[in-house]
Amino acid sequence: MIDRETSEEMVRDEISEENLVKHMLAVEAAMRELANYFDEDEDEWGIAGLLHDLDYERTKDDPDRHALLTVEMLEEKDVDLNDAQLDAIKAHAGHKSPETKMEKAIYAVDPLTGLIVAGALVHPDGIMEMDPEFIHNRYDENSFARSANREAIKSCEKLGFSLEEFFGVVLKGMQNINDELGL
């Protein structure tokens, strides 16, 4: 499997928008925390998270190709991801219904990281002082960070989480790398 350093280099070569790079780092960090929670392979889940939006800037005008192009790009570059990771990347964008734990996790994590970033920006003390309840309140405000798909976030229940438990694990993952996120 491709190592994390090379994966991050690929992301930085491909993505010019710094906030999008941070989004991919946030999804990676959350996936690592979730992999640990489920006693799964942290690097496998983390690298799928890190690379999940690799084609984002190329598919802006062609959203139906989002994620499918990432899989093609990875294959072209001979990047060694396993089928479980490639399926997770497809599932995050709805090209496959989320079935495995990794697929369900990335599907629910992707919008939640956006909600947490938006929450951190309005929290008086930033992400390090946020708690799951604060995220839950922002989640309940439908007009807040409207693009963070509440239904996709709620699908964490299919992994056996309550919303607040899920917020806690994903928040912790993002707090772990706040030196990079700067929230």
- Compute the C-alpha angle 44/63/75, nearest 5°: 40
Report, in Å, the least distance between residue 115 CB and Fe ion: 12
Report, in Å, the least distance between residue 93 CB and Fe ion: 8
Three-state SS string over 111-159 comes to HHHHHHHHHHHHCCCCHHHCCHHHHHHHHHCCCCCCCCCHHHHHHHHHH
Nearer to Fe ion, 44 or 110 (CB): 110
Tokens describing residue 174? 């993002």
- Which residues bind to Fe ion, rule: CB under 5 A? 53, 110
Report, in Å, the least distance between residue 116 CB and Fe ion: 13
Nearer to Fe ion, 33 or 110 (CB): 110
The contacts of residue 72 (CB under 8 Å, 6+ apart) are none
The contacts of residue 167 (CB under 8 Å, 6+ apart) are 112, 116, 132, 135, 136, 139
Report, in Å, the least distance between residue 26 CB and Fe ion: 9
Nearer to Fe ion, 53 or 103 (CB): 53
Nearer to Fe ion, 72 or 131 (CB): 72
Report, in Å, the least distance between residue 110 CB and Fe ion: 4
Which candidate, 94, 96, 108, places its Cα nearest to that of 151? 108
Nearer to Fe ion, 35 or 106 (CB): 106
